[in-house]
Every structure is written in C-alpha cells, then in structure tokens.
Structure 1
Amino acid sequence: MEEGNWKKRTVKNGDFVLPGEYLGVMEEYLPGDGVIVEDGNLYSTRAGWVRIDKDKIEISLEPASKVPPIPKKGDIVYARVLDVKQQAVLLKLIKIEGQSRGVATSTLAGIHISQVKDGFVEDLRNEFKIGDIVRARVIADEKSPIQLTTKDPDLGVVYALCSKCRTPLVRKGNQLVCPKCGNIETRKLSTLYRKVNI
C-alpha cells in the first residue's frame, strides 16, 4: 500500500488514530474536539479514538491519554454531600453520568437553597445529609465550587444512609425508612433513588 493511499483511508467510529492522520473532508463532517481543517481535509491533532456524531454531522477525537473529564454546564453529575449549611450544600463530585472516569480539577460543588427544588425550602437539613449521594445537573461551571441544581424529579438524593445507625435507607413513598432501626427521614429524593449504579 502506498503512503498516499494509507493517509486517505476511511475512518470509522471507534478507530484509533495518531496525530496528523487524515479523517475525511469538510463536506462529510464538521471538525470537533481534536480535529483541524487544512485545505478542506480533516486531520487529527492528537492520538485518540474517532467519535462520529451523525446528528451533529461532526467528527471528533476522544483523547488516548485519558484526562479525567471536566464537568460542563448541562452535565448530569454524581456527588457526595460534605456539609449542609443554612443557604447551601457543599458536595464533592464523584463522576459525570456517562463517563467511566472520575472528575478532573476542582471536585467541589454547591447547591444553593434556591436550586434544591421548586417551592420553598425551610431547612436544608431536611433535604440533604452528610454522606448522601446526589444526582444533579451542572448550572454554572465558571468558578469553584461548580454550581448544581436538583430541581428536576430525576435529580436529588439517589443513595442515603440512616443518620442513626448508618444502614442504607429504603424509600417508602416520599420518605426514607431504615430497615434496621425504623428511623424515618426526609430528603430531596430523585425518582432514581437506589436505581443507579455509581
């Protein structure tokens, strides 16, 4: 095979490419992350896996050197509650939904009392407890801590332990019940409570 033909091979979704490899032409795809355009041709700027988004008509590269992902506005994330204050909850980000790796950079996040749920929140301690695992959406990622919301029904606490005996709580209606000591607690619950693997 001649050098020229090798460079013009057709790449498929999931192919591994090296920097400078030919990926296609502008008429076929728009350049995404890790892709540059030269004379109408698309080339890789880094080693990685080809990702073709047919809806966006975009070709991009998932980097080979797996840099942990950085949460962006709109991402769904999982986080553990570190502290519950009067006006906000402080959390440590665990991962971005759909990503297999942990989170990069600053892993602190916050949920302001106004972003917990629709309606009035009297006491944040009735919505979250230290150690809870929360499913939330990023609403601001410009500075640390990253700002989250749990207003949607599928957002909120997805895993909680009894604050008395540390047994995993079971959902009964809108409350959480400890199967061991019978303690009843409230949270801003996600409809996915104990239905997601983190």
Structure 2
Amino acid sequence: MQSTTERGEVPEGERVIPGDYLGDGSRFFQGRGTYEMGGRIYSELVGEVRIEEHEKTTSRSDSGKTESGSKPSRVISVVGKYSLSAVPSVGSIVMTRVLNISERQAKVMIISVGTTLLQEPLSGVIRREDVRSVEKDTVDVFSSFRPGDIIRARVVSLGESHSHYGLATDRNELGVIMATSEGGHPMGPVSWTEMQCSKTGIREARKVAKVKNAVPLKSN
C-alpha cells in the first residue's frame, strides 16, 4: 500500500468505492459522499469523483485573528449513479453492508453491482466457509465482520428466485473496505486481519480487503 506522499489526488471522473483514498484534507474541502480520517479524505460511496472550485470566506492575519477574505479552494465529492436494472450474476463483484452476524454467517444487503448503485438493496449471505479460501474450519465470523461494515464480495450463488444471494470474500481483494470502531469513529486498515480506530488507535479484528486506493494509518 502507498502512503499519501507517494500517491496524488484521485482525478475527476474516476470511479471509486467506499474506503478509496481521494486526497489530502489540506488540499480539499470534504464534499458529499466522502468522509475524513486522519486529515485525509476518503469515499463513502460507489460513484464518480467530482472536483469543484469553492470560495473559502475566512483567513487569518499575522495577529492570529480571523479576517474576512477569499481564498480559492476545491471541494472533492463522490456522486453515485443509481440503476433499476442492475442484477447480480454468479461472479459479479458487489458492495454490501453487514446487517447482522452469527457464528455461521453474516447477513448483508447488496448496495451496488460493480460500480452501479442499486436503488433498492438486495439480500445476501456470507457463510462461514466462504469468508476465506484457506483454513476455513478456523474462521471466526465475529472476528471477520461487524454490523455496519462495508464489504466487497463476489456472488457465488443466486439463491431461490434471485432473492437471497450467496456471497464470498475468499480472495485478497475481497472483504471489509470501510468500518466504524466500537467508539463510533472511522477505521483504517493496518494489516490483512486488523483495522485501527482513527481517534483512539485501538485495533479491531476484520477480514480486510486489499483496496487499490487505501492509505494505512500511521503507527503511533
């Protein structure tokens, strides 16, 4: 994974997914469809990057007092495109949000197929044996996912009447891409099995996906 000094901002028009790094907070205002963590801005949606000029109306004088003024800045946003017709098929890559978990599975709602957002979410299940490709008997669902996590997964079965899709996260690029800590703060990946709270530094277990634009948190 690259650091913020090694990679630049994401260009306008690029398609991104939740958790993708967009740019440094010193260069952009945070727009819709984004969130800030550790002074960096990330996508919270599936969609396209939009960059717009913006007028910041305050600045600071040498004395430290706030004065009126105008400083051109940019706002970075992510805009989603919805579809009524997108339907997952076996092999499709989907974005999901975890609803609840048990010892045997995680129930999720599918929110996008590829880079197309669904206007109405679909139901899906990630079974314990489909979390990883190796050591399946040792998988702990509670150490892999938590309710509210955003997960990238692939469709492995369609279920009855395409109403309950079977999903898997058994590849390096699949798994949790965005999560919130128990304290309610955004977390970033620090390894393939852990994410770290941006405020407290506390680590929590996850089955972490390899995200193309991820920027790991700095170690304290």
Q: Separation in 2 of the partners of 1:147 and 1:94?
A: 15
For residue 95 of structure 1, report the CA deviation from its aligned partner: 0.3
User: Which residue does 1:172 correspond to in 2?
Assistant: 190
Q: Separation in 2 of the partners of 1:142 and 1:84?
A: 19
The higher relative CO (CA closer than 8 Å, separation ≥ 6) is in 2
Cα–Cα, structure 1 residues 67 and 177, in superposed 2: closer, same or farther, change >3 Å? closer
Structure 2's unaligned 5+ residue stretches are 1-82, 215-220
- Does 2:172 align with 1:158? no
Q: Secondary structure at the match of 2:118?
A: coil
For residue 67 of structure 1, report the CA deviation from its aligned partner: 3.1
Q: Separation in 2 of the partners of 1:136 and 1:122?
A: 16
For residue 176 of structure 1, report the CA deviation from its aligned partner: 1.0
Cα–Cα, structure 1 residues 91 and 193, in superposed 2: closer, same or farther, change >3 Å? farther
Would you tell me which structure has more strand in proportion to its own residues?
2
TM-score, normalised on structure 1?
Answer: 0.59
Structure 1's unaligned 5+ residue stretches are 1-65
RMSD: 1.9
User: Which residue does 2:118 correspond to in 1?
Assistant: 102
- Does 2:152 align with 1:135? yes
Calculate percent identity across the aligned residue pairs: 26
Cα–Cα, structure 1 residues 115 and 193, in superposed 2: closer, same or farther, change >3 Å? farther
For residue 115 of structure 1, report the CA deviation from its aligned partner: 0.2
**Aligned length in residues:** 127
The higher radius of gyration belongs to 1
TM-score, normalised on structure 2?
Answer: 0.54
Matches within 5 A, 1:1-198: 67-99=84-116, 101-102=117-118, 107-117=122-132, 118-120=134-136, 121-143=138-160, 144-163=163-182, 165-174=183-192, 175-192=194-211, 195=214
Question: Is the CA contact 2:150–2:176 (under 8 Å) kept in the aligned structure 1?
Answer: yes
Question: Is the CA contact 1:160–1:168 (under 8 Å) kept in the aligned structure 2?
Answer: yes
For residue 116 of structure 1, report the CA deviation from its aligned partner: 0.1
**CA deviation digits over 1:72-108, x for unaligned, max 9?**
1110000000000110100011001132x3165x711
For residue 193 of structure 1, report the CA deviation from its aligned partner: 7.5
Q: Separation in 2 of the partners of 1:107 and 1:67?
A: 12
Question: Is the CA contact 2:131–2:139 (under 8 Å) kept in the aligned structure 1?
Answer: no
Q: Secondary structure at the match of 1:89?
A: strand
Give 2:114's aligned amino acid: E
Give 2:126's aligned amino acid: I
For residue 122 of structure 1, report the CA deviation from its aligned partner: 4.0
Q: Separation in 2 of the partners of 1:161 and 1:193?
A: 20
**CA deviation digits over 1:42-90, x for unaligned, max 9?**
xxxxxxxxxxxxxxxxxxxxxxxx6331111110000000000110100
Q: Secondary structure at the match of 1:160?
A: strand
Give 1:173's aligned amino acid: S
